């Protein structure tokens, strides 16, 4: 690739990213409301699960003393399962809504790029929910591919495949006639001759939405000591883990290891991981807008090329027909 074409690719990617930022912040409130439950619901669900199990564990010995009926392991586990069910259901519902959002946000992005407005966000989600079976197969196929390539020795191939499959969600969401396999196949074909451009866009989005923005928000939490406030209840649960046994095992290891687990540090990392997860989730629309913009550019170019090819074919057919007519007249 020449230097001039490389500059053009970089310029195009920056324009796509700038367009994405503009549309994302202009519609930030709507995107925030739409993504709130899928993101916070997962955190709330997990919190309820661990809170219920923590409270029950604290009181199970007292309950056993007061009533022998609780001195039954299957019964204790059954009660624990019942107590954690509400949190589990909330988590599952939020997780499913987030999976739906991964596709439906592309439909929203397409509407914005075409000059429309985001009015009924639920309608975009319904378009994906109507194809739930096909969407589940689509997600399973992608998951299987990533799981196979998750072996460390295949990470280089995983990175390449990740780029090739970058536009698959856009194809599935915006080309409704395509099923799971066809969406993946078409998405790969779109990237085939736009690999560098797609990879560069993914790198910029990855640095911004997975590292820079979450890092800044987490830094703000640490600077304002907010992680200390949220870490306290988490630490109470962490203290129930066999941390002392682990540290004792490390201390008596054949090789000296200058490492010690602390409940507060573990709780702090959990809180910051949750914050990072939330921030990354809320930037999903930005990633979708940028990738949808690239998808539309490629799709438009492919459509124009198809029309031009059809015109050339018709012209060649017409020329051939005229030539045959002239030959027939001469005979």
pTM of the full predicted structure? 0.86
pLDDT at 243 over 90: no
The reported pLDDT for the residue numbered 311 is: 46
- Region 277-295: what's the mean pLDDT? 96
Q: Do the domain assignments include residue 31?
A: yes
Q: Which residues contact 179 (CB under 8 A, 6 or more apart)?
A: 134, 137, 138
pLDDT at 4 over 90: no
**Of the candidates 77, 242, 105, 261, the residue with the CA atom closest to the CA atom of residue 173:** 105
pLDDT at 122 over 90: no
Residue 58: is it exposed, middle or buried by C-beta count within 10 angstroms (0-12/13-18/19+)? exposed
Q: Do the domain assignments include residue 63?
A: yes
Alpha-carbon distance of 153 to 150, in angstroms, equals 8
Handedness of CA 86, 92, 95, 101 (dihedral sign): negative
Alpha-carbon distance of 67 to 69, in angstroms, equals 5
Q: Do the domain assignments include residue 327?
A: no
pLDDT at 168 over 60: yes
pLDDT at 154 over 60: yes
Q: Which domain holds residue 213?
A: 3-319
pLDDT at 324 over 50: yes
231, 264 Cβ separation under 8 angstroms:
yes
Q: Do the domain assignments include residue 326?
A: no
Task: Pick the more confident residue, 312 or 230.
Answer: 230
Q: Do the domain assignments include residue 324?
A: no
3-state secondary structure of 179: coil
Handedness of CA 184, 189, 195, 197 (dihedral sign): negative
Q: Do the domain assignments include residue 329?
A: no
Into how many domains does the chain fold?
Answer: 1
Q: Do the domain assignments include residue 154?
A: yes
The reported pLDDT for the residue numbered 93 is: 97
Q: Is residue 33 very low, low, confident or very high in pLDDT (cuts 50, 70, 90)?
A: very high
CA distances from 20 to 118, 154, 247, 281, 287 (A): 15, 32, 48, 16, 8
Q: Do the domain assignments include residue 262?
A: yes
């Amino acid at each position: 690739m020449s230097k001039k074409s490389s500059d053009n690719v970089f310029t195009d990617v920056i324009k796509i990213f700038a367009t994405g930022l503009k549309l994302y912040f202009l519609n930030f409130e709507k995107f925030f409301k739409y993504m709130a439950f899928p993101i916070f619901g997962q955190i709330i669900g997990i919190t309820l699960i661990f809170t219920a199990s923590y409270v029950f564990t604290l009181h199970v010995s007292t309950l056993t003393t007061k009533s022998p009926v609780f001195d039954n392991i299957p019964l204790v586990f059954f009660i624990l399962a019942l107590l954690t069910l509400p949190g589990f259901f909330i988590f599952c519902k939020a997780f499913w809504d987030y999976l739906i959002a991964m596709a439906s946000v592309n439909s929203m992005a397409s509407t914005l790029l075409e000059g429309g407005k985001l009015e009924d966000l639920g309608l975009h989600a319904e378009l994906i929910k109507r194809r739930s079976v096909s969407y589940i197969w689509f997600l399973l196929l992608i998951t299987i591919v990533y799981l196979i390539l998750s072996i460390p020795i295949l990470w280089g191939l995983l990175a390449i495949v990740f780029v090739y499959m970058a536009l698959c969600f856009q194809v599935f969401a915006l080309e409704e006639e395509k099923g799971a396999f066809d969406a993946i196949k078409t998405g790969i074909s779109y990237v085939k001759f736009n690999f560098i451009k797609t990879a560069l866009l993914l790198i910029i989005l990855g640095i911004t939405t997975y590292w820079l923005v979450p890092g800044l928000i987490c830094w703000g939490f640490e600077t304002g000591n907010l992680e200390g406030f949220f870490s306290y209840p988490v630490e109470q649960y962490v203290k129930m883990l066999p941390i002392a046994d682990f540290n004792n095992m490390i201390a008596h290891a054949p090789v000296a290891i200058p490492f010690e687990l602390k409940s507060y540090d573990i709780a702090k990392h959990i809180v910051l991981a949750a914050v990072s997860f939330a921030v990354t989730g809320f930037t999903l629309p930005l990633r979708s807008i940028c990738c949808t913009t690239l998808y539309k550019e490629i799709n438009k170019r492919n459509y124009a090329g198809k029309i031009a090819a059809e015109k050339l074919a018709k012209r060649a057919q017409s020329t051939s027909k005229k030539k045959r007519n002239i030959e027939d007249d001469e005979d």
